[in-house]
Structure formats: structure tokens, C-alpha cells
Structure 1
Amino acid sequence: MTLAIIGGTGLTQISDLDITGQQTLDTPYGKPSADYVFGEMNGKKLIFLARHGNPHRIPPHKINYRANIWGLKQLGVTDIVAVAAVGGIAKQMAPGHLAIPDQIIDYSYGREHTFFADNLEHVNHIDFSEPYSALLRKRIIQAAHNADIMITASGTYGCTQGPRLETIAEIRRMAQDKCDLVGMTGMPEASLARELEINYANLSVVANWGAGIVPGEITMAEIEKNLQVGMSKAIALLQAITLLPDLTLV
């Protein structure tokens, strides 16, 4: 198993990662968001990629998702834990909380969303009934239990276009669609990983309530404050994942 961590808003680097090197890659789909960082955590080797670049400068709809995932495949990655800052819709998804969604609805548009687009010998269709790796999700949930970190172990992630936040009506529609979380980067990241047969799971860090869930406007100050709390829990969970006794990282 070769593990990669993709960091989202609030996680452009991991202070507890002992960095051993980094690599710039060119792919058939252009440049990835940032250099791939190699490091060790609890004696286990892994690869880190800042989804929005480092420093954080690439908005969700401009991320080169295909280059990011292709580069990880080139580096031999078999499993990805994708950390993402999200908004909470369901009542249990309060700011600062962690969730491991098991389903996704894609509301984004205009993104390069597949490797199966050009020069094909035949049309390719992937099974996406279960968009996240069941085994990898199980490992994350077990790690949270071992470390006594409170999580919600399921839920539906709704992926919007961004970079603006959603309207009250849009969040109301997503709630009617049974979305528990709203984010901007969950797709096509998950489906691209599936196309390349990489196990992929999402670690959602709730940064704010979705529009209209509670009174008042959503501010960046509020988001940043909640992310400080949530990301510290996320990093603790990532550490716990590397401590799993049956987890061999190479």
C-alpha cells in the first residue's frame, strides 16, 4: 500500500510530516497543483499534495484534477485520503466536526472530469455505485476509534462549482436531495481516482454551516476559526491512520 494525502483548504502542509524530499512532475494533462512532497509520519512513508497549491491560490473550479491524480498514479500511489473543508447541512455536521462520507452528488460543471475522453479504442464506463473505497473508509473509521476521535462515519457529499458559496435556496435543494455536506473539490477527484484504480476516501472537515442553516452571513473569519479546530483533529486522525498495525506503507 502506498498512501497519499491530498490537503485542501486549511491544509497546505502537515507540520508533523518529516519531509524527506519533493518532486515536480509534468503529466499528459499539464502540471499538478504543486510539487509532490515525500515524508514520513510515525515511521511510515507517504506522499502529500496541496490541492490548491502552496501557497493556497488555485480556486476549486481551476484545479487540474486530472494532472493531480495522474501524477499520484505515476508515483505508485494505491490509496488516497483526500482532506477537504466543507459546509455542514445535516444537523450532526456542525463546524469543527469530521465526517467520512460514503456517497456523493456532483453539482459541478465544466470541469475536465475523465481520462476517457480522446483517442479511445472503446468507450470506458466505470462502476461508481460506491464512490469511495469501502476498505480505505473502514481503515479511517478504525483509526478514529483507536484515537478516540469523534467522526460521522457516513454521509452524502454534495459537490458544487465554487468558488462562491451557495445560496440559501441551493442549500435547501441539496438538503432535499439528502446531502449532508457541501464542498467544492470532491468531484471529479473521486471518479478520476476510480478510473485509475486508486483507492480513494474523503475526510471532510466541517468549516461552517451551509447558507440558511443558521441565521447570518458566512464569513471567512468564521471559516478560518473553525478550520483551526477541525484541521487539528484531521491531522490527529491522519497520524492514527499511520499507526494502524495492519497498514504497511512503502
Structure 2
Amino acid sequence: MLAIIGGTGLYKIDELDIKDSIEVSTPFGMPSANAVKGNYKGRDVLFLPRHGNAHQLLPSEINYKANIWALKSLGATQIIGVSAVGSLREEIRPGDLSIPSQYFDFVKGNREKSFFGNGLVAHVSTANPICHSMADDIVKAANTIDIPIHQGQSYAGVDGPRLGTRVESQFLRESCQCDLVGMTNVPEVFLAREAQISYCTITIATDYDCWKDDPADHVTVEKVIQRFGESLAKAQKVLMAYLLTNTTDCVDGCRSSLASAILSPRDLLNEEQSRLLELLEK
């Protein structure tokens, strides 16, 4: 089942025929909001607003583990996130859609980034952190409705909530060779991989961050909200088109990422650890 995680400005999807609003309690606390289960032309879909129903959560306050756990427990095998980002490349213009394929973790705060620890040891490969099969299917769906999407970019994940300095923007662009910068995809993308869920993000470029010389090009909250809102309809059209496509099987091993990742002997796991693994391995 596909789950959609909505970012800034995307708190519901009007096209869905809503069947249920589900409160999910997880071992890691409550998710950002109730998960909504809906249907679009015969296909079941889950939806969760990343920042809460009223955008009450900062990027560092989001319970990413609870969000991914909740969607996994409700049967999600695929996740498409929608996120606002700053563009670090001239060719990715404000309003453009992109699907990043690589992630640079520049988050320095105390976000919990793994389901593992406390006696349960695993090391999941994230050399290719997204599902390329799903990304290709999203692009094909977008092509059927003549909406262009950049593909193959690198996303730098930062803490926020402040907007970056020029030297940080230039560092991410030049030294780290990143193309996009955002506050919410890390650790979401990595937790999805640990949960054996295929994951992609459709990003909406709202600005050029602040690497350019002209201050008029620098990011402001006003620009983020305005440009995200203007382009959100495009992203939703792509999502609906994707829901109507015949999707291809994952070739990146997303759905079997734990097969050789777990080091802890299973016969030594306690009941809580065993329950954790049981859900992640579904």
C-alpha cells in the first residue's frame, strides 16, 4: 500500500475518498497526526501530515520514528514524501519538482535516526537510499500529464528551524556537491529503509536558498509559502497520476533491506526487541 507524507502546506488530499482516520500508538510515542486511510479510483492510500494537521511541529520536533512505524503498522510498503526545498542549482528553478536520489546528513541535533540500538544491533545499507523503480514510475506518470520532474539530485538535510547562512549554503553546494537543501527528509528516508519500505520524495523548490549574490534571490518564509502553494497543485497531480499507473517491482532491495543487516543473535532478543523486528521485517 502507498503512503503519502505531506509536507509544508499539504495537510490533506481532497481527491481521496476518506474511509477512516486512525490513531496509532507506537513504541516511540505518537505520530504527527492521525493517519488517514482513503481510496483513489480503486487504490487504497494512507496519508499523514508530517508537521501535524495545523503545522505545529518544527522539523526537529517531528517524531519520525513514530510516523514511519505507524505507516508500516497500517500496511505501507511504499512512501512518497512531499517536501519544500531550497535549490542549490541554477537549473532547478523555484517551482520545479525534483526526486532526489541521494541524501547528505548534515543534521547535527539529537533527532533519533534509527530503530536499532539498546541491545539490538543492525547496520542497513543506504548506498542507494531511495527506490529507483518507484522514482522512475513517478517520472513516467508525470510525463503522461506533461509535468517535468528533475531526477537524480542530492539532498542535504539540515536541522532548521532557522534558514541557512550564505557560507552554509555555499558549502553544501560547492564542497558537498548537493543540489537541494531541506529540513525534514533526514532521518525519514533512512528510517523507511530500516522498515523495508520503498521511499521517494517529490520536492518542490521554493527558492535558491542564499548562495546567490543578489539578496533578492535569498530565501524568506514568505517566498517559501507562496511558491510552495503555487506548485503544490502540480505535485498533487503527479501523485494522482502515479496512483493510476501499473507500478514496477522494486529492484533496489528496499523490501529486503534487513536480510543481512541484523547482527544480534535472535535467540538472545527480549520480547520487546522481537516485536520490533517482527514489524520491521513484514
The answer, yes or no, to whether TM exceeds 0.5 is yes
Structure 2 Cα separation of the partners of residues 137 and 245 of structure 1: 13
Q: Distance in 1 between matches of 2:240 and 2:160?
A: 30
Q: Distance in 1 between matches of 2:60 and 2:78?
A: 24
Deviations along 1:135-167, whole A, 9 cap, x unmatched?
111111111111211110120000000111111
Deviation at 1:134? Answer: 1.3
1:67-101 deviations in Å (ceiling 9; x for gaps): 00011111111000011111111112211110011
TM-score (norm. length: structure 1)? 0.94
Q: Quick check: 103-112 or 205-214, which moved more?
A: 205-214
Match of 2:140 among 136, 139, 142: 142
Hey, what's the Cα distance between the residues in 1 that align with 2:34 and 2:106? 29
Which residue is equivalent to 2:172?
A: 174
Match in the other structure for 1:32:
31
Q: CA deviation at 1:245?
A: 3.3
Post-superposition Cα deviations, 1:165-185, rounded to whole Å, max 9, x if no partner, equal 111100000011111000001
Please point out which of 130, 133, 148 is paired with 1:132. 130
Shift of 1:198: 0.5
* Larger RCO (CA within 8 A; separation ≥ 6): 1
Task: Return the offset for 1:43.
Answer: 2.8
The separation in 2 between residues aligned to 1:179 and 1:230, in whole angstroms, is 22
In structure 2, the CA distance between the partners of 1:103 and 1:247, relative to structure 1 (3 Å rule), is closer
The residue that corresponds to 2:50 in the other structure is 51
CA contact (8 A) 2:88 2:208 kept: yes
SS in 2 for 1:101: strand
Runs of 4+ in 1 over 3 A off after TM superposition: 245-248
- SS of the aligned residue for 1:5 comes to strand
Q: Could you say which structure has the larger radius of gyration?
A: 2
Within-5 A mapping of 1:51-200: 51-109=50-108, 110-120=110-120, 123-176=121-174, 177-200=176-199
Deviation, structure 1 residue 42: 2.9
Partner of 1:236: 237
CA positional deviation for 1:219: 2.4
Aligned AA (2:145): A
Partner of 1:208: 207
Tell me, yes or no, if the aligned pair for 2:64 and 2:188 is still in contact at 8 Å.
yes
Separation (CA, whole Å) in 2 of partners of 1:119 and 1:73: 22
Are 1:42 and 1:239, in contact at CA under 8 Å, matched by a contact in 2? no
Task: Name the aligned partner's letter for residue 115 of structure 2.
Answer: F
- One-letter code of the match for 1:102? S
Residue 242 of structure 1 aligns with an amino acid whose one-letter code is L
Q: Which moved more, 1:237-246 or 1:58-67?
A: 237-246
- Provide the C-alpha distance between the structure 2 equivalents of 1:245 and 1:117, rounded to a whole number of angstroms: 38
Amino acid at match of 2:153: G
Q: How many Å apart are 1:246 and its aligned residue?
A: 4.3
Query: Residue type of the partner of 1:218?
Result: V
- Tell me the percent identity: 40
Q: Give the 3-state SS of the residue equivalent to 2:26 in structure 1.
A: coil
Name the CA distance, whole Å, in 2 between partners of 1:66 and 1:44.
Answer: 26
* 8 Å CA contact retained: 1:20, 1:40: yes
State the alpha-carbon separation in 1 of the partners of residues 101 and 248 from structure 2: 21
Matched residue of 2:152: which SS?
coil
Tell which deviates more after alignment, 107-116 or 205-214: 205-214
- Distance between the aligned counterparts of 2:44 and 2:202, measured in 1? 19
CA distance in 1, matches of 2:185, 2:246: 29
CA distance in 1, matches of 2:243, 2:18: 15
User: Which has a greater percent of helix?
Assistant: 2
Matched, 1:220 2:198: no
TM-score by length of 2: 0.84
* TM superposition shift of 1:119: 2.9
Unmatched 5+ stretches in structure 2: 250-282
Partner of 1:61, secondary structure, is helix
Counterpart of 2:17 in structure 1 is 18
Distance 1:218 1:138 in 2: 30
